[in-house]
Structure 1
Amino acid sequence: MTEPKPGDSGSNAVNRGGRPAALTPQHILLLREIVSRMLHSTLDELAAELDHLGAVQVCTATIRRTLRAQGIVRSMPKRQARGESVEPEATVGVVRRYGYTVAHRRKAGEYSTDLTDAEWRLVADLFERPEGSRGAPERYERRHLVDACCYVLRTGCAWRLLPSSFAPWQAVYKAFVRWVEVDAFEHMQDRLRQQWRARMGRGAEPSAAVIDAQSNRASPQGGECGYDAGKKVKGRKRHIVVDTLGWLLAVTVTAASVQDRDGAAEVVVQACRKVPTIERLYTDGAYGGQCARVIEQTHGIRLEVVRRPGNRSTGTLHDPQQSLWHEPIRGFVVLPKRWVVERTHAWNERWRRMVMHHDRKTSTSAAWVWLAEARILLSRLAIGS
């Protein structure tokens, strides 16, 4: 009987010659001890630990072969099926994890703009008729009417070009007009905004806001229209006030020829009436001067103008005894607070109906803004519901 090689793990191993084993029986015992302490470690971590304790350097392939020879395998936890319920005793002490479930998935044949079951539960009471209400029964489900409005908002199509899978366009348009008159989309966005602020650890109502305006083209449909000489745009202008998270607080739509400082009064009144807790308002240079003084005197809001570092109208104050002088940065600069409202404009323009004004009434144009903001919040809030 031949003597076992130093690298053989068994007592009856035969020495067949060739290269000696990289790991001795003592190293293998040490490796098993390391595995018992580091159950979730990788092969690289095992090799590093073995080098640290046993003063032997081996590659991960050697570690893998040795573990396989010793019968040590790596097992993966079973993947839980979508929608599979967890046993009550297994959920004790488990942190809730946000993620998609069956309720967050759309059924076959539905559009990507349709509301999922989780999203509809958040706003169903704002559109459905109360139980026991009088009147003729509904011919079309309210949820399908809301889905049709979201389809028009996302695709920008005309009402008459709605797919046949929806209700007739006349019924959808009448429902949309009725909801605009009662500010249903605004109420929906206000509720979702408060829920999102609560999830982010903020108060229900903000104490600071940001104001800005954006000019967009208008179609030949008619209605109030003007020319913005500064942006070279013929159409309408949206005046919006958002909180520091970028969510809409107030919006008004005027002709593009209306200056920002002239259109600020109405939208600020709307924001203060809805959110009386606003104490500070961040703006750009268009709202400075007399406009800022009027807003502060009328509403008691502190208005702070955020200007670009390279602004040539006011310049930059410099005290040579306090700090070194640095040349202002030229080009694009992310301005504090003001970038929030610019991001909101970018969010809104992702919806094709918002790129151009197709409605005669400015109230309808403002309703599209409320619906767009509410639709974004719905998709975010539904994940945790």
Structure 2
Amino acid sequence: MHCESTAGKKGAAGEREATGSNPTDRGKAGCKRTLLTDAKGIPLAVVLSGANRHDSKKLADVLAAVVVPIPLFDEEEERHLVLDRGYDTRACRTTAEQHRFTAHIPNKPSAAEPLPSPADPKRHPPRRWVVEVGHAWFNQFRRLQTRWEKRQDLYLGFVHLAASLIIWRKLAPVAPPRLLSG
């Protein structure tokens, strides 16, 4: 409809267009990218959801959305999946096992087990910075930092275009130069 936000009426479900009321922006319609990267930060999969949707609900979707097939591995070789504390649920651990990943998820702090100090050896090592750098690379594209498209497929197309540009920028210096024949 004309002059209507991406989420439609206030309070309406916007799952179809991957929007939802943003709890940090006065309930305005917002979008969230769930990103899967390799160890170097190269994006492997991106899934869109509403801003009010928890990341752990989209774990199975992002693992299934990998565009390049992950090579088969030997039984001795392990594939690792590093997640943050928000994914500390039984469902996320089961999803990681179903996709044959070894999940590295720090435990949520509780009254019985508070969060250890940063110098404590029992504290889970910080490894999520690779994904946070990936999000920062996406935010360098002005078109993606603020979502202006009402339709999810248009916005997802721009996200995929940005992902391919990020991959090109990361892999172009590594590729050997080609000699022109002629």
Same fold (TM over 0.5): yes
SS at match of 2:132: helix
Q: Which runs of 5+ in 2 are unaligned?
A: 8-16, 73-77, 120-124, 178-182
**Which has the larger share of helix?**
1
SS at match of 2:41: coil
The answer to whether the 8 A contact 2:45-2:62 is kept is yes
Paired AA for residue 287 in structure 1: Y
**Corresponding residue of 1:304:** 104
CA separation in 2, counterparts of 1:296 and 1:340?
A: 19
The answer to whether the 8 A contact 2:97-2:103 is kept is no
Structure 2 residue 110 is the aligned partner of structure 1 residue 346: no
Q: 1:364 to 1:294 in 2, by over 3 A?
A: farther
Paired AA for residue 104 in structure 2: E
Larger radius of gyration: 1
Percent identity reads: 26
**Corresponding residue of 1:370:** 160
Structure 2 residue 57 is the aligned partner of structure 1 residue 262: yes
RCO comparison, higher one (Cα < 8 Å, 6+): 2
Q: 1:289 to 1:224 in 2, by over 3 A?
A: closer
Structure 1 residue 339: deviation in Å? Answer: 0.3
**Corresponding residue of 1:361:** 151
- Pairwise mapping of residues 146-295 of structure 1 onto structure 2 (< 5 A)? 220=5, 223-229=17-23, 231-232=24-25, 234-271=29-66, 274-275=69-70, 277=72, 279-295=79-95
SS at match of 2:49: strand
Provide the aligned length of Structure 1 versus Structure 2. Answer: 149
TM-score w.r.t. structure 2 length?
A: 0.67
* Cα RMSD (Å): 3.0
Q: Which runs of 5+ in 1 are unaligned?
A: 1-218, 318-326, 330-334
Structure 1 residue 306: deviation in Å? Answer: 4.1
Paired AA for residue 369 in structure 1: V
SS at match of 1:354: helix
Structure 1 residue 303: deviation in Å? Answer: 1.1
Q: 1:345 to 1:296 in 2, by over 3 A?
A: closer
Q: 1:276 to 1:260 in 2, by over 3 A?
A: farther
Q: 1:379 to 1:301 in 2, by over 3 A?
A: closer
The answer to whether the 8 A contact 2:35-2:135 is kept is no
Structure 1 residue 293: deviation in Å? Answer: 2.7
Paired AA for residue 94 in structure 2: V
CA separation in 1, counterparts of 2:170 and 2:100?
A: 34
Q: 1:272 to 1:286 in 2, by over 3 A?
A: farther
The superposition leaves residues 108-137 of structure 1 with CA deviations (integer Å, 9 ceiling, x where unpaired) of xxxxxxxxxxxxxxxxxxxxxxxxxxxxxx
TM-score w.r.t. structure 1 length?
A: 0.34
The answer to whether the 8 A contact 2:56-2:86 is kept is yes
Paired AA for residue 146 in structure 2: M
Structure 1 residue 370: deviation in Å? Answer: 2.2
